[in-house]
Amino acid sequence: MHGLCPLSAALGAANIAAMLAAATSLVLGLWARALDLVFPPRCVSCGAFGAFLCAACLAAAPPAAPPRCPVCWMPSEGPDSLCSRCPSRRFHFEAARSPFIYDGAAREAVHALKYRGLSALAGPMARPMADCLRQWAPPAGVIVPVPLAGPRRRLRGYNQSELLAREVSRLTGLPLAPRALVRRRSTPPQARIADEAARQANVVGAFAPGPATLHGGVLLIDDVLTSGATLDACAHVLREASAGPVFALTFARED
Ligand SMILES: [Zn+2]
Ligand SMILES: [Zn+2]
């Protein structure tokens, strides 16, 4: 025992921890492969085996192609012209982007991620989001997911926006601040509310700043942009907390 200095004891502990981590990831990898054999991944859109969202369906998903409003990414007359709505409204976020329109395979992917527990879809869904982000390159230093209220998160087992945010962070190297925003209360899903004013009222006071303090610009991530009310409420809280300019990236947007 005499020869074991605190440093070598610490190195020994670190080695054991590294070996345990390697063994755990090996077991998890084998388990994932075993699950793939029993439940092979099937495309959520066409049902083909091999991937949760096959390359053909992803390629056929309707792109949110320009010309679009530089602020809200709604279709517009020309590349730099605002949509018909943006001149008379002001969001707390600077601009939003989405690679897809919320339709076809893009809609099916969102539904499967949100309501069918297919968390493995976050990887393939985040790739076009990361491509969109690289092209856009907004001045944001950190990624923040739109938080999900506790009861809904427990029921689903995860927050789909956080899974997408994690994957986008991994693919782009932009750091993730998963606890920069918290949800104070559960609200009825925005999709069930038709009227835009009611959607805004639905999320008023729903979010609060979390323990992490941010500066220098934020990229908010969510699965779908509908009226923009949820992203606007989140951006409002972040602006009040002096996080700097806020930008928003979603997998799909409703046109
Ligand atoms: Zn497919
Ligand atoms: Zn607009």
Ligand 2 center to 69 CA (angstroms): 5
Nearest ligand (C-alpha, residue 56): 1
Ligand 1 center to 51 CA (angstroms): 8
* Contact present, 206 and 234 (Cβ < 8 Å): no
Ligand 2 center to 72 CA (angstroms): 4
Q: pLDDT, tens digit, for every residue of 103-132?
A: 999 999 999 999 999 999 999 999 999 999
Cα–Cα distance, 255 to 253 (Å, whole number): 6
Lowest mean pLDDT among 4-8, 48-52, 95-99: 4-8
Query: Which residues make beta-bridge pairs with 181?
Result: 209
Ligand 2 center to 5 CA (angstroms): 64
Q: pLDDT, tens digit, for every residue of 30-74?
A: 776 676 666 789 999 999 999 999 999 999 999 999 999 999 999
Ligand 2 center to 255 CA (angstroms): 11
Q: What dihedral angle (degrees, nearest 10) is formed by the CA atoms of 174, 180, 183, 189?
A: -20
Nearest ligand (C-alpha, residue 104): 1
Nearest ligand (C-alpha, residue 52): 1
Cα–Cα distance, 60 to 91 (Å, whole number): 31
Task: Write down the pLDDT at residue 248.
Answer: 98
Ligand 2 center to 128 CA (angstroms): 22
Count of residues in the chain? 255
Ligand 1 center to 201 CA (angstroms): 38
Cα–Cα distance, 10 to 197 (Å, whole number): 59
* Contact present, 124 and 164 (Cβ < 8 Å): no
* Contact present, 250 and 225 (Cβ < 8 Å): yes
* Residues whose CB is less than 8 angstroms from the CB of residue 109 and which lie 6 or more positions away in sequence, other chains included: 44, 45, 53, 61, 121, 124, 125, 251
Is-cis flag, bond preceding 67, omega within 30? yes
Nearest ligand (C-alpha, residue 124): 1
For range 80-99, the mean pLDDT: 95
Ligand 1 center to 61 CA (angstroms): 10
Ligand 1 center to 40 CA (angstroms): 14
Cα–Cα distance, 171 to 18 (Å, whole number): 24
Q: Residue 29 above 80 pLDDT?
A: no
Lowest mean pLDDT among 17-26, 83-92, 115-124, 137-146: 17-26
Side-chain-facing half-sphere of 186: CA atoms under 13 Å: 8
Nearest ligand (C-alpha, residue 74): 2
Q: How far is CA 20 from the centre of its chain?
A: 30
- Three-state SS sequence of 98-113: CCEECCHHHHHHHHHH
Q: Which residue reads 């993730």 in tokens?
A: 176
For range 166-183, the mean pLDDT: 96
Nearest ligand (C-alpha, residue 90): 2
Task: Write down the pLDDT at residue 33.
Answer: 66
Percent of the chain at pLDDT > 70 equals 92
Ligand 1 center to 109 CA (angstroms): 10
Please give the structure tokens belonging to residue 220: 């908010």
Per DSSP, helices labelled H in 116-228 are: 122-136, 150-156, 160-172, 196-203
Ligand 1 center to 125 CA (angstroms): 13
Closest CA to 252 of 53, 98, 44, 144: 98
For range 150-156, the mean pLDDT: 85
